[in-house]
Structure 1
Amino acid sequence: MKRFSIILLIFLLYSINTKAQIVDESINGIQIGALGIWWNNETGLNKNWAFRTEFGYEAPLFIQVKTITNGSIVSFEESQAPLLYQYPLFLPVGSLGVRWYYNSRKRQGNSKNTFHNSGDFASGAFRYYPRFLAYSPKDVDINADGGLFLTLAWGMRRNINYRWNFEFKTGLGLDIFNFFSDGSNFEYNAKGSDNYLFNFTLRIGYKYGMIK
């Protein structure tokens, strides 16, 4: 958890160094993927950094790893790292974070377009999954956990044309609520367990708004 926080803090502090703007001042878009749909906004902070707000409905992969059993520590293999959900589980999501488009200047130098924040990026974000409106195509009794996750990810966005783009992203998140509790105050957490989120998405996006 400390590593996650330190890396995210470095991202934020580094963004203070401002020069010529490369990322867009503000763009709005809608994205759709195999396991979700999202609305998002990216607001430029400086030349390579953007603040991203996102709301959507998606099916991430939740993983619960038990670390303590009857007072003794067990290994990853011994716990068998049971999956919290072994079927698609769709949940609402709200996300706030930053993106660092680290190769924007290099792409410009190679005469590649960077409009609408086209490039490779590293990101840090807080993703909140509320415990309502859960849905699964499987005929099972859903008891959705939800949670607040601190996530770090890497990805890339490329333009298809002025309006359309595609985006790939992969990352890992840690459940903050569970990390700072002993399990007794959160009915969805087992004491001595850590909840993780594996976030892998491939999206097609549409940028809407005035053509500049």
Structure 2
Amino acid sequence: MKKILSITLLLIGASTFAQEKASVEKSIFNIQTGFVGLWVNNELKLSDQIALHSEIGMEPSWFVGNGTQWHPNFRLEPRFYYNLNKRSEKGLNISKNTGNFFAIAFNYRPETVLFPNNKNLGAIESFSIVPKWGIRRNLGKSFNYEAGAGLGFRHETNYGNYGEIDLHFRIGYSF
């Protein structure tokens, strides 16, 4: 009886120490849409809590009284998912990087117009760096939503420097 009890305690102790820490996924591909725009992105695991979010998207620029033009946007965004362990301990879903994150978004918008409705508008090349906070949650097995906000710096090559507000709410599908 003592041997059985000892073996049982040993196995319980070993299984407790063998539990893995919560971690971001190795690689996730997503298609997302928001109020305006369409994006394709990938999140690649760099460590247990850090993923590199890389993205190609199409979004509009509005010129009051002159029209709208659609342009590509390229983004690299290291994300620190800070609450995965806490969510896992509470029994909440962390699959497909479901959690809260801090990030720094590096955006590049080339001097390219995809769908102009006013041919006289010139394209504006810009770079921006925006620290931000966000959340990502699953809606079922493969659908998700993401929301985030940040305030940062934008440089337009022909016009100068500005502040940039990054607010997003997107719904997407993960592969």
Identity of paired residues, percent? 31
Structure 2-normalised TM-score? Answer: 0.78
Structure 1: gaps (5+ residues): 1-18, 62-84, 179-185
Q: More relative contact order in 1 or in 2 (CA 8 Å, sep 6+)? A: 1
User: SS of the residue aligned with 2:145?
Assistant: strand
Alpha carbons 1:21, 1:46 under 8 Å: kept: no
Aligned in 2, Cα 1:202/1:56: closer, same or farther, shift over 3 Å? same
User: SS of the residue aligned with 2:123?
Assistant: coil
User: SS of the residue aligned with 1:98?
Assistant: strand
Superposition pairs for residues 77-92 of structure 1, below 5 Å?
85-86=63-64, 89-92=69-72
Distance in 2, matches of 1:99 and 1:23, equals 10
Of 113, 118, 138 in structure 2, the residue corresponding to residue 159 of structure 1 is 138
Name 1:47's counterpart in structure 2.
48
Higher strand share: 2
Name 1:105's counterpart in structure 2.
85
The one-letter amino acid paired with 1:125 is A
Higher-Rg member (1/2): 2
Alpha carbons 1:127, 1:149 under 8 Å: kept: yes
Alpha carbons 1:91, 1:129 under 8 Å: kept: yes
Structure 1-normalised TM-score? Answer: 0.65
Q: Does 1:128 align with 2:95?
A: no
Name 2:163's counterpart in structure 1.
196
How far the C-alpha of 1:39 sits from its partner, in A, is 0.4
The one-letter amino acid paired with 2:31 is I
Structure 2: gaps (5+ residues): 1-19
RMSD: 2.2
The one-letter amino acid paired with 1:36 is G
